[in-house]
């Protein structure tokens, strides 16, 4: 769990925070750590719902792939919440389709949000932080797909691999200004809505989830959104003041093993 008070006095802007899943886990972890949250989401309806559930959150609407929206978002955030001390680039678009079937517009949308949007948000945040000489911390949400992927995820994996590389480069550029930049790469994070997504490639989604957790993860428990949120809160905090340019995978060991558990574990 996040350490109470570790983000006390800090305002954290989180993109893609109004939906369910990893974004909500990040919001909960930041709030429990004493931080203030500025939420940004492309959906006005989701933003209203979040503001209703958490009145203490400043909930803004905007498309991070559009430069004018990004500038407006930071102006509104600063005007209503004051200086932004940390940025979490959680907003992203997934795509499961063989790369040779992906249209140009689909490719542009995935990379427009996952790569261009991340770059635009990091750029605006950093320029303002450097101008005020106040340092800060950035956490980009990547994915295990950046290093090892599955059929149909070539375009998405490419976008997340770009986030990995950009995270390292941003850390190099911003280090002299006291601004840190790291990434968190979730594995399979369970959420109720995932069942229908999994049903697109198997008739038994519940069985797939169970086999994934017990046969392919080294730690045989469900990875929850809050697990990712707690990792993000740590990287935003001063406890991580000497960590930059790194990617932490929150995947219960999914990407570490050479073989699945049924192949390597002795039967009792």
Residues acting as catalytic residues? 156
Residues 65 and 199: their CA atoms lie apart, in Å, by: 30
Residues 6+ apart with CB under 8 A from 64: 15, 40, 42, 70, 73, 89, 91, 113, 117, 118, 120, 121
CA distance 19 to 49: 9
Residue of 163, 177, 196 lying closest to 90 (CA atoms): 163
Residues 6 or more apart whose CB falls under 8 angstroms from that of 122 comprise: 87, 89, 138, 140, 166, 170, 181
DSSP state of 42: S
Would you give the DSSP letter of residue 224?
A: -
CB neighbours of 75 closer than 8 A, spacing ≥ 6?
Answer: none
Q: What is the DSSP pairing of strand 86-89 with strand 136-141? A: parallel
Answer for the pair 57, 27: CB distance below 8 angstroms, yes or no. yes
Give helix then strand counts, H and E, for the chain.
Answer: 10, 7
Smallest Cα–Cα separation from 143: which of 169, 100, 110?
A: 110
DSSP 82: -
DSSP state of 251: S
* Chain centroid to CA 7: 18
Among candidates 81, 155, 80, 90, which has minimal Cα distance to 122? 90
């Amino acid at each position: 769990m996040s350490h109470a008070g570790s983000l006390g006095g800090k305002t954290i802007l989180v993109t893609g925070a109004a939906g369910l899943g990893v974004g909500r886990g990040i919001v909960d972890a930041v709030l429990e750590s004493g931080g203030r949250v500025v939420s940004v989401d492309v959906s006005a309806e989701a933003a209203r719902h979040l503001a209703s559930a958490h009145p203490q959150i400043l909930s803004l609407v905007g498309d991070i792939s559009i430069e004018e929206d990004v500038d407006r978002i930071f102006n509104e955030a600063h005007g209503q919440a004051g200086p932004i001390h940390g940025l979490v680039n959680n907003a992203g678009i997934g795509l499961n389709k063989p790369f040779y079937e992906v249209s140009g517009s689909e490719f542009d949308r995935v990379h427009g949000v996952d790569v261009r949007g991340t770059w635009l948000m990091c750029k605006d945040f950093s320029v303002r932080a450097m101008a005020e000489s106040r340092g800060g911390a950035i956490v980009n949400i990547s994915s295990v797909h950046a290093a090892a992927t599955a059929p149909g995820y070539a375009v998405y994996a490419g976008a997340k691999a770009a986030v990995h590389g950009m995270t390292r480069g941003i850390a190099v550029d911003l280090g002299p200004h006291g601004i840190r930049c790291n990434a968190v790469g979730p594995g399979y994070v369970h959420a109720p809505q995932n069942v229908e997504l999994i049903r697109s490639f198997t008739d038994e989604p519940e069985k797939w989830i169970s086999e994934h957790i017990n046969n392919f993860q080294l730690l045989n428990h469900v990875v929850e959104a809050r697990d990712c949120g707690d990792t993000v809160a740590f990287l935003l905090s001063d406890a991580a003041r000497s960590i930059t340019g790194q990617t932490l995978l929150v995947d219960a060991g999914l990407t570490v093993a050479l073989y699945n558990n049924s192949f390597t574990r002795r039967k009792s």
